[in-house]
């Protein structure tokens, strides 16, 4: 195996034991909480909270696996946002492009928000088995085929990434230069990579469909579930706390106007 992109981290923490429905709703609540503020300090607070949950779920290493992506998202956001936002305190002006203190801070906030979004999503994937996510989605009223397709997509991402990495190595061995800066050579290397990836993905999915049907699976038929999630008091406690936090955040933002760098924006 060249890459391991499975996010599920098999532990037995409180978070792993929560009902998948609670976790799905919880992550959505965290998303909304993130949207309450656009001041970086406030979002740092939310991110710190998410990281604290990661620690109690013994899953920080999942975050570490994606460190490059997270840093990339953050940096892009921080660098790009300031050019699209106007603020009062101008720090830099150059040929009509201006960067202000507010826009800089807003960019920082957006970078942090994106990081928090991705982290919260990973929290769900790190502590919930694919089958549990499917089960949770169904019990939340999502139609079975949709839930199954979604879970399958999550399941297949690492497989395809793995095949992709092998294909890159195979073509690099033949002399394909992936480091070239030249636009034309970049275009030329598109086919040697994309065609094998596409074909192996097609083969794989077709094969998988055969394997699933051969085991008696049909998307529209009733089936039982080996892991039956149990909703306990803890689930209600988690949801209740998150709702309270959301309410508090809304109050801070809407009534006290806290955590705002640029008003009128999410």
Partner 1 sequence: MTSSIVFDHLSFSYQNTTAPALQDISGEMSRGSFTMVMGHSGAGKSTLCCAINGLVPRFLRGDYAGRVMAEGMEAGKNSVPDMARAVGIVLQDFEAQLFSTNVELEMAFGLENQCLPRTAMEERIHTYLRVVGLEELLRRDTATLSGGQKQRLAIGSVLAMETPVLVMDEPTTDIDPEGRHQILSLIRRLRTQDRTLVVTDLDAEAAVQADQIWLLRDGQLLAKGTPAETLTDSSLIESCGVRPLATIALFQAMNWPGQPLTVDAAMAEIENQGLLRPSRPEGRAISALPPGKVILETRNLSYRYPAGSTNALSDIDLTIHEGDFVAMLGQNGSGKTTLAKHFNGLLKPTAGDMFLRGRPVNNYRRDELAREVGYVFQNPDHQIFAPTVGEEVSFGPRILGIDRKTLERNIAEALDATGLSGFEDKNPFLLNRGERQRVAVASILAVKPAVIILDEPTTGLDYVHQLDTMEMLKRLNQLGHTIIVITHAMWIAEAYARRSILMKEGRILLDGPTSEVFSDETMLAAASLAPSDLIRLRNRLGLAAMTLTDMVKELRGDNIVIPFPNQR
Question: Which positions touch partner 1 (CB under 8 A)?
Answer: 1, 3-4, 6, 8, 10, 65, 129-131, 155, 158, 163, 166-167, 169-177, 179, 188, 191-196, 199-200, 203-204, 207-218, 221-228
Min dist CB 158 to partner 1, Å, is: 8
In 3D space, the residue among 255, 259, 241, 266 whose CA is nearest the CA of residue 30 turns out to be 241
Min dist CB 167 to partner 1, Å, is: 5
Q: Which two tokens stand for residue 71?
A: 């840093």
Q: Which two tokens stand for residue 104?
A: 């800089």
Min dist CB 60 to partner 1, Å, is: 14
Contact present, 15 and 56 (Cβ < 8 Å): yes
Counts for the chain of helices (H) and strands (E), in that order:
11, 2
Determine the Cα–Cα distance for residues 215 and 34; give it in Å rounded to an integer.
Answer: 43
Contact present, 138 and 109 (Cβ < 8 Å): no
**Other beta carbons less than 10 A from residue 39's beta carbon:** 19
Min dist CB 238 to partner 1, Å, is: 22
Cα 207 to its chain centre, rounded Å, is 28
Q: Which residue's CB is nearer to partner 1, number 121 or number 219?
A: 219
Min dist CB 173 to partner 1, Å, is: 4
Tell me the Cα Rg of the chain. 22
Q: Which residue's CB is nearer to partner 1, number 73 or number 193?
A: 193
What are the b/e assignments for 88-114, b being 16+ CB within 10 Å? eeeeeeeeeebbbebbbbbbbbbbbbb
Q: Which residue's CB is nearer to partner 1, number 225 or number 241?
A: 225
Min dist CB 7 to partner 1, Å, is: 11
Q: Which residue's CB is nearer to partner 1, number 93 or number 213?
A: 213
Q: Which residue's CB is nearer to partner 1, number 58 or number 101?
A: 58
Q: Which residue's CB is nearer to partner 1, number 17 or number 101?
A: 17
Q: Which residue's CB is nearer to partner 1, number 6 or number 59?
A: 6
Q: Which two tokens stand for residue 115?
A: 């990081």
Min dist CB 181 to partner 1, Å, is: 14
Instruction: Name beta bridge partners: 230.
Output: none
DSSP 262: S
Instruction: Name beta bridge partners: 92.
Output: 99
């Amino acid at each position: 195996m060249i890459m391991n992109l499975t996010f599920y981290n098999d532990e037995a923490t409180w978070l792993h034991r929560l009902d998948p429905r609670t976790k799905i709703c919880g992550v959505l609540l965290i998303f909304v909480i993130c949207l309450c503020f656009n001041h970086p300090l406030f979002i740092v607070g939310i991110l710190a909270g998410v990281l604290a949950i990661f620690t109690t779920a013994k899953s920080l290493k999942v975050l570490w696996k994606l460190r490059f992506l997270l840093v990339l998202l953050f940096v892009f956001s921080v660098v790009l946002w300031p050019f699209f936002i106007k603020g009062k305190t101008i720090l830099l002006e150059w040929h009509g492009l201006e960067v202000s203190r507010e826009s800089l801070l807003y960019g920082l906030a957006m970078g942090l928000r994106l990081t928090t979004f991705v982290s919260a999503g990973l929290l769900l994937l790190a502590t919930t088995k694919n089958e549990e996510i499917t089960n949770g989605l169904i019990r939340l009223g999502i139609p079975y085929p949709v839930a199954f397709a979604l879970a399958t997509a999550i399941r297949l991402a690492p497989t395809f990434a793995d095949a992709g990495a092998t294909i890159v190595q195979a073509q690099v061995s033949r002399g394909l230069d992936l480091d070239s800066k030249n636009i034309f050579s970049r275009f030329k290397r598109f086919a040697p990579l994309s065609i094998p990836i596409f074909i192996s993905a097609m083969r794989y999915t077709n094969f998988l469909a055969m394997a699933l049907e051969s085991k008696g699976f049909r998307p529209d038929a009733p089936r039982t579930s080996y892991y039956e999630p149990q909703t306990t008091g803890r689930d209600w406690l988690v949801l209740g706390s998150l709702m309270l936090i959301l309410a508090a955040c809304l109050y801070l933002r809407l009534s006290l106007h806290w955590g705002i760098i640029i008003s009128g924006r999410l």
